[in-house]
Amino acid sequence: MLKPVMKQITYYSTNNLSERVNFETALLKGMASNYGLYMVSRHDIPRVAPGKVTDMRHMSYGEIAFEVLYHFLAPEIPKEKLRPLLKDVYREDKILTKVQHITGKTYIMWLTQGPTYSFKDYAARFFGGVLNYFLGEKGLRKVVVVATSGDTGGAVADALYGLDNIDNVVFFPRGSISEGQRRQMTTLGDNIYAFEINGDFDVCQALAKNILGDQRFAEEVFGDRERFTSANSISIGRLLPQAVYPFYACSRISEQGEGFIASVPSGNFGNMMGTVIAKQMGLPVTKIICGVNENTEFPEFLESSEYVVRPSKKSPSSAMIVSHPSNLARLIDFYGGHMFDERNPVTGQVIRPGVIDRMPDMDAMRRDIFSTGITNPQHYETMKEVFDKYGVILDPHGAVGWKTLEIYLNGQHNQPAVIYETADPGKFPIDVQKAIGLTPGLPPKMKRQTGQKERIYHIEARPEHTGEGLKLCDTQIKETKEKIKEIFK
C-alpha cells in the first residue's frame, strides 16, 4: 500500500540537525539533544499510493495502524512482530472507534472508548507497546516522565501500569484537572507515581523537560544517564500514532472521494501535528482546523506572523489550557522554520519561550491550517446547541472542534468534515450539567475509581509569577528531585 522505502527513516533534533537517530533511539531517549524534539523530515514521510485509502474501508483500526506506521518503524520492528503488536494494542474490546454522521456532511469521530475514555489512549497504548518491545529485546528499564493538562496522564499511566520494565512519573497541575482525571493516575499505585504540582500545565511541562534533560541527575539516582524518557506528545512515540485516526476517519465516511476537513481541538498540538503528517502522507485532507480555547497564541501567530506567549487562561476545555504548545516547534520545523526556548545555560530553565530565529513558510501554513479561539461562554453555548438540535452530548473539547468548524464553514455543513471528539462527556459532569441541564453518567472504570485510595506526591513549592505567566522555579525542581530520589532509593 505504501511506496517502498529505500532507506530507513531517521529522526533528528529540531535544535540540532546533525543528530540523526533511528526510531528506537528516539523513543528511548524521549527528548532530543539541545532540548529539541525528534522530528522526521517532511521529505522522508512515506506516501500512500493514490486511491489506496479506500482499501482501508474494511480494515480494523489495528490493520490501518499497521499500514500507516510500518514504514516509520521498519526494519527495527519486523512485520511479523509489528502486525500482532498493533492488533493487540488496538483490540476492539479495549478501544472501539466510532465515526458518527450528525448532519449534512459533518461527522464526529468518537475517540472516547478506550481504557481512560480519551483519545490519548490511542497514542499511549502504542507508546507502551513499542517501548515494552524494545526494552524487552535489550533487557533495559526506563522511567517515563510525563506532564499532563488532563487526559494524557491517565492514558499513559493506564497504558504503562504493571509493565515489568517501566516506571512512570506523572506531573499534573493542582486544581486544573477534574477529580476523575486525577484518580485515573493516583489510584493505580505499583509503578505509577503521580505528582501534584503547584502551578499550571506549562509549569508541569517545564518540570518534565528539566528532569528529562538532566542526565547528571539520572546518573546520580540510577547509575544510568539514559534512564529517563518521555511519553508526552514531545515523544516521537506519541506523535506518530496520532497520524492513524484521520486515516480511519476517512475510511468510514461516505464522501471519501471528495476529501475532508479535519477539525481538531488542540492543546499541546500533538493531535493536530499527527493530522499534518497524515496529510503529507497523501490523505485527502482539504483543511486542518486547529481549534483552541482562550489561549489564542497560535491563531494570532497565523494572522500576524508574531508569536507572543502570555499567561495561560482557564477554560472548560481543561486539557487545552496551553499557552505555548510543545509541538508548535515541530509544526514550524515542518514548514521550514525553527523555534526554540531560550534557556539558562546552567540551570536549563526557560528564560524566553517560543523564540523563532527562522520563520516558516507562513503562506503554506495558512493554506493548510485554519485556527481560531473559542471563548469560555461559547463552549457551553455550543454544547447546548448541539444537544438541542441533534441529541448529541459533547464534552468541552469536542465543543471547540464543533464550533471552530462552524466558524470556518460560516454555519453550513456542506463540505465533508470530521470533528475529533476527544473525551467522554462523563469526564466533565459539571460542565455538561451547566451546558445542557443533564449530568452524564460516569464511565464504568472511572466509577470504580471513585472509591479507591489515592497516592499523590505533593510539590508545595510555588512557581514564579512573571509577565509571561507562571514559571518553574529552582525550589520546585529541587523538591521534585528529592522526592524522586526517595521513591527510587
Please give the Cα distance from 270 to 258 (Å, whole number): 26
Are residues 65 and 97 in contact, defined by beta-carbon separation less than 8 angstroms?
no
pLDDT per residue as tens, the chain (489 positions): 554 444 689 999 999 999 999 999 999 888 888 989 999 999 999 998 867 788 899 899 999 999 999 989 999 999 999 999 999 999 999 899 999 999 999 999 999 999 999 998 999 999 999 998 999 999 999 999 999 877 788 999 999 998 889 999 999 999 888 888 899 999 999 999 999 999 998 899 899 989 988 999 999 999 999 899 888 667 899 999 999 999 999 999 988 778 999 999 999 999 999 999 999 999 999 999 999 999 999 999 999 999 999 988 999 998 898 999 999 999 999 999 999 999 988 878 888 999 999 999 999 999 999 999 999 999 999 999 999 999 999 999 999 999 999 999 999 999 999 999 999 999 899 999 999 999 998 898 888 888 899 999 999 999 988 887 888 999 999 999 999 999 998
Peptide linkage before 75 cis (omega within 30 of 0):
yes
Residues sharing a CB contact under 8 Å with residue 11, sequence separation 6 or more, in sequence order? 20, 21, 22, 23, 25, 26, 32, 38, 39, 40, 236
**In the numeric block, which cell numbers belong to residue 49?**
499510493
- Domain coordinates of the chain in residue numbers? 96-111+247-437
Q: Is 206 exposed, middle or buried (0-12, 13-18, 19+ CB in 10 A)?
A: buried
What fold does the segment set 96-111+247-437 form as a domain? Rossmann fold (3.40.50)
Choose among 176, 182, 158: nearest CA to 168: 158
Please give the Cα distance from 62 to 350 (Å, whole number): 39
